[in-house]
Structure 1
Amino acid sequence: MYIRELHLRDYRSWPELKLDLNPGIVLFVGRNGFGKTNIVEALGYVAHLSSHRVSQDAPLVRHGMASARVSATAVNQGRELTAHLLIKPHAANQAQINRTRCKSPRELLGVVKTVLFSPEDLALVRGEPAERRRYLDDVIATRTPRLAGVKADYDKVLRQRNALLKSASAAMRRGYGDTEGASALATLDVWDSQLAALGAQVINARLELFDHLSDLIPAAYEGLAPESRPAHIAYKSTIDVEDRDVLEAVMLAELGAKRQREIERGISLVGPHRDDLELHLGTAPAKGFASHGETWSYAIALRFAEFQLLRSEDSDPVLILDDVFSELDAQRREKLVKLAAGVEQVFITAAVDEDLPDNLVPMERFEISVADTEEGRVSVLGRTENSAEEASETAFESETESETESVSDAESMIEEKERGEVKKAGETDE
């Protein structure tokens, strides 16, 4: 897979950006804060419906604007599709595939597939379980977009159940002998049933993914750090997952066993929202015991494994290396370059050329700078190709007649769509 065209409007520091791209290595060079990461973040947002940097949509929209738009045309084994996404911080996001409106932005999942390496990946090893759950769920959504809807439905039921536990805790403590308590407990029974049905599907999908990663991650880590302790992973759940055919029944039983504690605490204690992907080095957990180099190697191994799995099931996803070379030693830089060399398309960002490996030769190179305008400071992009062609003009400019008719029509169709209360894809509970 490769991105043939990427078009941003009012996305963070970019009032307007249109890139026509080719397969190969695409390099963006610019000082920190100039907007290079915003470009790859936008592409990742279309792929996963979430940012790797922030949990809310408001920071993605340029200051003073009501919305931001991202359009990406992906070519996958000769088939070309364009994903359009209108990001609205205070309303439901809207999406289209080519000229067809989507009922939900989740329908975009699978049109663009990316695997992103970034400094934020250290949180996969050092961070809380929520970071690792998100890693699993993002890979699942990329492989099987339908399951993203299951996860979203689970999150919705979980919010409703938690709200009931908090608001009706006193009544439920009085039990079935109290009219209000009996009503609240009956409602809790309904939420339990739905939570178990959806939660079993989420856990089962994670376990199926775990089966693949349990070999890929240790192998990737050994390749990066052969001198280190061996890596291995484990899936820790709030329920017994030995028999996957009865996960729903097991979860329902565990909800019953923990009910009193949940009523007392006002929160759901059972379900995939409490699970974790445990990362180990030798006999010790990686979190808290791994050195800085080992932590980086583990984080890269997680992304290596993700990439290899997606590649084995379909064409190459687009590989994004966001400002990671500066954090790596020469050996790990070499490993990443070797991976990038065989990928159909790679996006790389770097602050300065000195951060890049000597053997990295981009097909297309873009220089990022900033300019002061009446609307404030904005990002500016200049293009230099490794060919005899002359460097093209900057991609920051006002919209011209050269913009394709399909993109223009798509904008109009999206912006005319009535605002709904559809839940944004990618939202999860804390």
Structure 2
Amino acid sequence: MPVRRISIVDFRNLVGVDLEFGDGRIAVIGDNAQGKTNLMEALAWLATASSFRGDPTGALVREGAEQAILRAEVEGGGRTTLLEVELAAVGRNRMQVNRNRVSRVRDLLGHLVTTVFGPDDLALVKGGPVGRRRYLDDLLVASHPRHHGLVTDLERILRQRNTLLRQAGGRMTPDVESTLDVWDDKLTGVGDELGQARRDLVVLLRPEVADILDVLGDGTRPATME
């Protein structure tokens, strides 16, 4: 899915950028703090509808601007797709695919697929399971955009449940227990469904990981994923 053109307005420190890309590998070279990583982040946002740095939308809009605008022409499947996003400093974002407004994030996903690898990705190996689960969820959404709803539902339920416990302040009244039971039931349902999707993804990844380990290793230790 090559990107043929990208236009960026008021995204972080990028006031106005308009680039066209040819075939083959492309290297982005510039001075420190010139915006190289911000360019990559803009492309990745169009692919994932989120910042790989973990920042909220408001932090992506250049200081003093009301919104950032991202546009990209992406080739794939014998056609060119135009992706457009307006990121609001305050309020709701707007998304369009081929000039048609879409209201669901999943409708933006899948047109552009990116892989970001940076220093923080070493946490996949060195860090705890939270980062690996998050990475699996990113893969799920990239390969099957319909799973975006599952991931966001789980995050929403956890926030609501944690808010309830924080507001209760350790006092488990009958009302709190009743409401907590509702959130626990929802958490179990969504968690089970997402857990199965993660397990299915691991099954698909096993042969790919085994092939990569054969190339990198000496072939004496087979790769396993559970």
Whether these two folds match at TM > 0.5 is: yes
Cα distance in 2 for partners of 1:70, 1:228 equals: 47
From 170, 187, 192, the equivalent of 2:184 is 192
State whether structure 2 residue 135 is matched by structure 1 residue 143. Answer: no
Distance 1:225 1:32, change over 3 A: farther
Match of 1:282 in 2: none
RMSD, matched Cα:
2.1
Offset at 1:40? 1.6
| Equivalent AA in structure 2 for residue 159 of structure 1 | R
For residues 301-329 of structure 1, give each alpha carbon's deviation from its aligned partner in whole angstroms, at most 9, with x where no partner exists: xxxxxxxxxxxxxxxxxxxxxxxxxxxxx
- 1:67 counterpart letter in structure 2: Q
More displaced stretch, 150-159 vs 31-40? 31-40
Q: What's 1:287 paired with?
A: none
Matches within 5 A, 1:47-58: 47-58=47-58
Q: Which amino acid aligns with 1:37?
A: T
How far off its partner does 1:58 sit? 3.5
Secondary structure, counterpart of 2:25 in structure 1: strand
User: Contact 2:9 / 2:17 at 8 angstroms: preserved in 1?
Assistant: yes
For 1:59 and 1:170, the matched residues in 2 are separated by: 34
User: Which residues in structure 2 correspond to 1:223-372 (within 5 Å)?
Assistant: 223-226=215-218, 231-234=223-226
How far the C-alpha of 1:230 sits from its partner, in A, is 5.4
Residue matched to 2:45:
45
- Pick one of 198, 212, 215 that aligns with 2:207: 215
- Contact persistence 2:71–2:82 (CA under 8 A): yes
- After superposition, where does 1:109-120 map in structure 2 within 5 Å? 109-120=109-120
Please state how far the C-alpha of 1:59 moved relative to its aligned partner.
3.5
Moved more, 152-161 or 222-231: 222-231
| TM-score normalised by L of structure 2 | 0.90
Equivalent position SS for 1:63: coil
CA shift at 1:169, angstroms?
5.2
Residues 23-38 of structure 1 aligned to structure 2 (within 5 Å):
23-38=23-38
Q: Which runs of 5+ in 2 are unaligned?
A: none
Measure the CA separation in 2 of the matches of 1:221 and 1:101: 43
**Shift of residue 47 of structure 1?**
0.5
Shift of residue 132, structure 1, vs aligned partner: 1.3
Residue 227 of structure 1: how far off its partner (Å): 7.9
> What is the Cα deviation at residue 23 of structure 1?
2.9
Larger Rg: 1
Distance, in Å, in 2 between the alignment partners of 1:89 and 1:127 is: 32
Is 2:70 the counterpart of 1:78?
no
Counterpart AA for 2:177? L
In structure 2, the CA distance between the partners of 1:124 and 1:55, relative to structure 1 (3 Å rule), is farther
For CA contacts below 8 A with separation 6 or more, give which structure has more relative contact order: 1
What code does the residue aligned with 1:210 have? Answer: V
Counterpart CA distance in 1 for 2:113 and 2:199 is 22
Helix, strand or coil at the partner of 1:232: coil
**Which ranges of structure 1 fall in alignment gaps of 5 or more residues?**
173-180, 235-430
Distance 2:9 2:216 in 1: 39
Corresponding residue number in structure 2 for 1:19: 19
Residues 89, 132 of structure 1: CA spacing in aligned structure 2 closer, same or farther, 3 A cutoff?
A: farther
- Maintained 8 Å contact 2:68/2:88: yes
Letter aligned with residue 129 of structure 2: P
What is the percentage of aligned positions where both structures have the same residue?
36
Cα 1:114–1:214 shift into 2, 3 Å? same
CA distance in 1, matches of 2:218, 2:67: 47
Contact 2:213 2:219 in 1 (8 A): no
> Does the 8 Å CA contact 1:94/1:104 hold for their aligned counterparts?
no
Whole-angstrom CA distance in 2 between matches of 1:86 and 1:99: 13
Provide runs of 4+ in structure 1 moved above 4 Å: 227-231
**Which deviations, in whole Å up to 9, do the C-alpha atoms of 1:378-416 show, x marking residues without a partner?**
xxxxxxxxxxxxxxxxxxxxxxxxxxxxxxxxxxxxxxx
SS of the residue corresponding to residue 233 of structure 1 reads: coil
- The structure with the greater share of residues assigned to helix is 2
Name the aligned partner's letter for residue 59 of structure 2: P
Q: State the 1:13 CA deviation.
A: 2.1
**Who is 2:61 aligned against?**
61
